[in-house]
Structures are given as C-alpha cells and as structure tokens.
C-alpha cells in the first residue's frame, strides 16, 4: 500500500499561558489515507482544531508542538517556514467554520481568489480570470461572471462558504481540512455543502480531514472516525463500526445526544400572551440624491400568529426568511411595521417608546451567541442583575440573593457569580443569558437560535432546561431556529417562513408528520434524511 497522505504520531501541543502550560493535545496518533475522509469528532475544547492547525504549524508563538506530523513522507514538525509555505494552500488547504471571518470584507470575490492563484500558481491576466470562473462554477455558484465584483457581505452564507471552498481548491491540494464548515448554515444549505464536498472529493481525488461535533454529518461523509476528548483520541475506527458498536463511554454519550421527548401539553384555558394579525415589515429601498423610495425589501408579509402561556411557537426557515425580523417586530424593536401586534391583550403596535418601557421586562430575548451578548467587563452577577436595576424589579430585595436564586434555577453554581463570561463554557454562557432574561420574570421569551452554536450534548441539556423552565413558570416561547430536530423537541406549534411569507403553520405533529408545501418537505428531507429515504 502507498504511504498515507497524512500521518500523525504521538502529537503533543502545549500552550504557554499565565506563567503555566496548557496541555491541549496529548499524544494523538492517526492517519489519513489517499482518497479517504477522516472525521475528528468531539465537543468544544477537545483539541480537534488545534490538532488540525498543527498539521502545517499554524498555531501561535506560545505553542510548543512535539511528536511527528508527516505529509507525504515530509516531516512538518520543525520544518522551515519556507517549506511550510510551499505546503500551505498548495498541498494542504483549509475551510473554516465562518467564512465572514476568513474573507476580507474590503475585497471583491475576484480579487481574493486572484491573489491566491497568482501567489501560488504564477498565472496572470485572462488565464487567472478563466481559472476563477472555472472554480466558482465547480463549487456551484450560478452565473459566476456576475458575482466576480461582489463583496462577501453581498453573498448568502452558503455562497460565502462555496467561495471559501473555491479558494481552498484553487491550487489543487491533496488534502482538504474542513473545520466545522457547515455549523453556521441552514439545514438545506448544509446538505448542499456536504454533497458538494463529497462530489469534489470523488472528482478531484481529494483526501479530507473533517472536524465537527455533529455526528449526523459524520455518518454522512466520513470513512473513518477519531473521537477526541480532553486532548486525547479515545476511540477510532471505520465509521460504520463506530456507529454500530461504540466502545468508549464518551463515544456512546455523543451518539446518545439526540433531541428526544416532546414539550408538556398546553392547557386549553392558557392565557393568550402575544399575537399578530397581518403583520408586515417592509424596508424601503431609497436611491438618488433625493433618496426617493424605488421599492421595498419585503422582510415579513402578512404574518398572523398566536402564542399562549406555556406554549412554544417554533419559527423555522432559511437565513433571510424573515424569522428574526418577525421577532423584533413583535417586541417593537423596529421603527415601522404594519398590522396589529397584541401583547397581554393590549394593542402595542402604535405605542410610543416611553409607553413601551414598562412592558420591556415582560418581553425578553436570548440570542444565538452568548459570548457576543455578554459584556466581558462585567461579572456574571452584574450581567444577570443589570435588568433588575433598569426596570426597578422588587427594589426591596437583595439583588445578590435574587441572582443566586435564578443561577441555581438554570443549573449554575451561585458561588461563581463574581467570575467573568470568558471563564465559562459555551453551554454555561447560554445558561447565563437565560438567567439574565428569567430574573425579570417575563411573560414572553424570544429564543433566537439559542442552541446552534453549542455542542450536541449541550444542546440537549439546554432544551431540557428550557422545557422545565417553561412548565414551571408558564412561559410563552417564540423559538427561532433552522435546526428542525430542536424545533421538534421544543415546539407545540410550528410556523415555516420563506422569503418573508408564512408558507405553512400548524400543530408541530401535523407539520412534521404531514408537511403540506414542497418547501417544508425540502426542509424535512434535509433535516431527517433517513426518514426521507425510507418513504
């Protein structure tokens, strides 16, 4: 047999930090054969990305790498910067999780691809443009000639990820390292990107190292699996064997991390908390010196909904479908809307901001990225208690005791309230965000993709926590997500949105069991491929 494309042997990575050493990778060994896809699987902090970045020595100056990493027989550990530059981008290419952080926002797509091709291949002029168009065509960008002058922000998430894949393929690499390349994408776009990578692997003869925490993706794309925990590979083997007969308790835990169960039923007498009637949100398109309105972006069209105490309305759809705009409109966080918005029996559509202020504490929101929504300069206790002061909630009570009470309720140790957000894991930070909303005793909570940035095991924990809190406090949830597995576990009713329109709505069991529209069926097939294949 020929030598593997990549052979990692007894890899250790230490980071110098605060006068000490963090042992991030602990004796990892694996190989990637030619034409093979190997998945590195594990939760955040397990060492997956550090292992991948070590392959071409892309770690910071505070990293110390020992062991052996051989690419086609050449040793990468200790290699000169000149030798490493020859391999990076030419022989080994990367695709990262969030293309907006990898693409330069100030340069067009053509310029960014051109730089890579000119730097590594030495092509010039028309030959470069022909190569760019060919690459964009191969990764599924329609009418690539019309997209050359586009900037990253003018492309959808799926299009940006396709451009990143084109950049990775530009110089004909032997090994493609994909680090969570689909985590931030809608379920249908995720399926398209996975199909694209599988096609490219077959057509180009690529080998692939695929990093993810989603075992559903691994099942679809990987030939072999390496399961990482705490910097160690605790189990590895053929994908079929790992899924059929996992040996390590941690692997079994990951495989068991599926959303199960259903929300508690809502009493027929439950109070109506929020409703909209023919809600419309159109943003004007203004052009010319006089800024005349020449059209509208129709973000939400005639949305009618109801959500009761103790009930979850799941709002699903791809990016740009109007989900978040709908939620912002209901909370009166947009300047102009049409149609009726009723909260606790009161029409709030035309209330002035001063009149809305007393209602704000009863409408709270939990965002997708808890780290981005928590101030790094405030302790957790200060973050949770901030709203109490703003809204004057129970002024006679000791705020620390109220914070301690709500922290315990969401599964956090009250003794940690004087720590800062960076000292907590992603799941703990999301619990902090939930506690910050819950301490105000709201009637309605808007949960905007609250689990999409979390590991699968942590997602399950957060869903169970939310279901328990809802039942205990009679909370009304507007739950926005593109993850239909989470929606199925959380929602009593489901609303499906596409391009601002509500294309389907009804009880969750009906929407999941017998979707009426072609678009909903497409979403279901992408989220539950095994069920779709069985029909």
> Rounded to an integer, what distance in angstroms lies between the CA atom of residue 16 and that of residue 60?
10
Closest by CA to 12, choosing from 77, 79, 78, 67, is: 67
Q: Crossing angle of helices 157-169/126-138, nearest 10°?
A: 120
> Please, which residues have CB within 8 angstroms of residue 503's CB and are 6 or more apart in sequence?
496, 497, 517, 519, 520
Judge contact between 523 and 506, C-beta under 8 A: no
Paired sense of beta strands 175-179 and 92-95, if any: parallel
Strand partners, 15: 22, 63
pLDDT in tens, the chain (535 residues): 578 999 999 999 999 877 778 899 999 999 999 999 999 998 888 899 899 999 999 998 889 999 999 999 999 999 999 999 889 878 999 988 777 777 888 999 999 898 878 876 666 778 888 889 989 998 888 888 888 888 888 887 778 888 888 888 888 889 999 988 887 677 788 888 888 888 888 888 899 999 988 888 898 899 999 999 999 999 999 999 999 999 999 999 988 877 777 898 998 899 999 999 999 999 888 887 777 888 888 889 999 999 999 999 999 988 778 898 999 999 999 888 899 999 999 999 989 988 998 899 999 999 877 667 789 899 999 999 998 888 777 776 788 999 999 999 999 999 999 999 888 877 888 999 999 999 999 999 999 988 877 788 888 889 999 999 999 999 999 999 888 889 999 999 999 999 899 999 999 999 999 999 999 999 998 888 655 444 5
pLDDT at residue 248 in the model: 95
* Residue tagged 């900037």 (tokens): 151
Q: How far is CA 89 from CA 130, 169, 282, 289, 472, in A?
A: 20, 9, 44, 45, 54
User: What CA–CA distances, in Å, run from 223 to 37, 40, 216, 237, 319?
Assistant: 5, 11, 13, 9, 31
Residue 173 DSSP label: -
φ, ψ (nearest 5 deg) of residue 461: -60, -45
Q: Could you give the 3-state DSSP secondary structure of residue 227?
A: strand
Q: What is the pLDDT of residue 533?
A: 46
Backbone angles phi, psi at 39, to 5 degrees: -100, 130
Six-digit token string for 333: 């966080």
For the CA atoms of 477, 480, 483, 488, what is the dihedral angle to 10 degrees?
30
Distance CA 157, CA 152 (A): 9
């Amino acid at each position: 047999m020929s030598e593997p494309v990549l052979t990692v042997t007894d890899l250790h990575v230490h980071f110098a930090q605060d006068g000490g050493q963090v042992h991030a990778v602990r004796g990892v060994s694996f190989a990637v054969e030619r034409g093979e896809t190997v998945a590195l699987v594990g939760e955040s902090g397990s060492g997956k990305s550090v292992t991948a970045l070590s392959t071409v020595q892309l770690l910071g100056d505070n990293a110390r790498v020992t062991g052996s990493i051989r690419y086609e027989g050449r040793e990468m550990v200790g290699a000169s910067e000149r030798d490493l530059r020859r391999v990076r981008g030419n022989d080994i290419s990367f695709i990262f999780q969030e293309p907006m952080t990898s693409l330069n926002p100030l340069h067009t797509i053509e310029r960014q691809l051109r730089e890579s091709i000119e730097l590594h291949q030495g092509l010039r002029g028309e030959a470069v443009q022909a190569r760019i168009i060919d690459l964009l065509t191969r990764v599924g960008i329609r009418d690539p000639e019309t997209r050359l002058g586009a900037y990253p922000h003018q492309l959808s998430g799926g299009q940006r990820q396709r451009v990143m894949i084109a950049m990775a393929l530009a110089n004909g690499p032997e090994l493609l390292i994909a680090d969570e390349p689909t985590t931030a994408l809608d379920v249908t776009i995720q399926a398209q990107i996975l199909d694209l990578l599988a096609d490219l692997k077959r057509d180009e003869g690529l080998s692939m190292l695929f990093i993810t925490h989603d075992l559903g993706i691994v099942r679809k794309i990987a030939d072999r699996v390496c399961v990482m925990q705490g910097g160690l590979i605790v189990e590895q083997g053929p994908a079929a064997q790992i899924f059929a007969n996992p040996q390590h308790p941690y692997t079994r835990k990951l495989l068991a991390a599926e959303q199960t169960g259903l929300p508690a039923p809502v009493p027929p007498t439950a109070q109506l908390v929020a409703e909209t009637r023919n809600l419309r949100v159109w943003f004007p398109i203004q052009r010319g010196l006089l800024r005349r309105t020449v059209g509208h972006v129709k973000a939400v069209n005639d949305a009618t909904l109801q959500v009761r105490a103790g009930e979850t309305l799941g709002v699903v759809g791809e990016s740009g479908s109007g989900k978040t705009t709908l939620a912002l409109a209901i909370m009166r966080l947009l300047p102009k809307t049409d149609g009726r918005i009723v909260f606790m029996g009161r029409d709030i559509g035309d209330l002035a901001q001063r009149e809305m202020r007393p209602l704000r504490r009863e409408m709270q929101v939990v965002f997708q990225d808890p780290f981005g929504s928590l101030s790094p300069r405030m302790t957790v206790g200060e973050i949770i208690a901030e709203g109490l002061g703003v809204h004057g909630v129970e002024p006679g009570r000791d705020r620390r005791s109220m914070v301690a009470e709500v922290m315990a309720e969401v599964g956090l140790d009250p003794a940690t309230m004087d720590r800062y957000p960076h000292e907590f894991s992603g799941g703990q930070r999301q619990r902090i965000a939930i506690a910050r909303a819950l301490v105000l005793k709201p009637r309605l909570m808007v949960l905007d993709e609250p689990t999409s940035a979390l590991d699968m095991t942590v997602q399950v924990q957060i869903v169970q926590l939310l279901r328990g809190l809802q039942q205990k406090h009679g909370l009304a949830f507007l739950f926005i997500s593109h993850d239909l597995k989470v929606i199925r576990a959380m929602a009593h009713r489901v609303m499906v949105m596409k391009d601002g329109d509500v294309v389907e709505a009804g009880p969750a069991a009906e929407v999941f069991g017998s979707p009426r529209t072609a678009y909903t069926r497409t979403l279901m097939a992408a989220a539950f491929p095994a069920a779709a294949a069985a029909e």
